[in-house]
Amino acid sequence: MAKYLVIVESPAKVKTIKKFLGANYDVEASNGHVRDFPKSQFGIDVENDFEPKYITIRGKGELLAKLRKAAKKADKIYLATDPDREGEAISWHLMKALKLDEQKDKKVYRISFNEITKNAVKASLKEPRAIDENLVDAQQARRMLDRMVGYLISPLLWAKVKRGLSAGRVQSVALRMICDREEEINAFIPEEYWTLDAQLHVHGSRKKLTAHYYGDKDGRKAIHS
């Protein structure tokens, strides 16, 4: 019976990592995220400190049941999702979905590695840590902004522009910047301007000195004709 359970994101990593760790380790995959906002609801309680509402992603029920069964058999559980903000959030969601934080008899650790090699995987097991709540909060903030912007602006796009268009926290802001810049370009009135340079001979030097007209003692002056 495996004493330790390692949960990674990608099923493609399972066989390789299990080969590195041996018979005492069971390695399973979450296949990415296991919880998210419901598609049919806003999912964020704006009136109550933006409290999120998460549900199990459709099709992940059997997978979570399998992971719960594996976790029940293990003495230690290592959440080895990807070493980034999304990976940190997936580990946090796994802990909540599997109720690992409620099981006092289980030791749960977060580990991460940047490459799938024997040395990297084994080194990560020697430096387990707690879940980084700051990274989790950052991912939740990103996901909430996507949801709030998308759910509030997309219906407007469907009504005014074209059905099926989507809005998000990135492309909506970028589009605004592009539109503002386009308005500046259209409003620009060309003006004639000149630059004035003088090539000066410096006594005792073969190299000429280039002087560029800037203005006078009162500051910069433009030459319009």
For residue 29, the model assigns a pLDDT of 96
Phi and psi at residue 212, in whole multiples of 5°?
A: -105, 130
Tokens for 80, please give them.
């080895």
For residue 1, the model assigns a pLDDT of 55
Residues 107-116: b if buried by 16+ CB within 10 A, e if exposed: ebbbbbbeee
For residue 78, the model assigns a pLDDT of 97
For residue 172, the model assigns a pLDDT of 86
Query: How many angstroms separate the CA atoms of 8 and 31, rounded?
Result: 8
For residue 40, the model assigns a pLDDT of 85
Write out the chain's pLDDT in tens, 225 residues: 569 999 999 999 999 999 999 889 999 999 999 999 998 889 999 999 999 999 999 999 999 999 999 999 899 999 999 999 999 999 999 999 999 988 777 799 999 999 999 999 999 999 999 999 999 999 999 999 989 988 888 888 899 999 988 888 888 889 899 999 999 999 999 999 999 999 999 999 989 999 999 998 899 999 999
Task: Tell the residue number behind the tokens 């301007």, with chain if given.
Answer: 193
The answer to whether 27 and 111 have CB atoms below 8 angstroms apart is no
Report the amino acid identity of residue 200.
Answer: L
Q: pTM of the predicted model, to two decimals?
A: 0.75
Query: How many angstroms separate the CA atoms of 140 and 154, rounded?
Result: 20
For residue 2, the model assigns a pLDDT of 62
Task: Tell the residue number behind the tokens 């030791």, with chain if given.
Answer: 107
For residue 190, the model assigns a pLDDT of 92
| DSSP string of 79-105, one letter each residue | E---SSHHHHHHHHHHHHHTTGGG-TT
* Local structure of 84: helix, strand or coil: coil
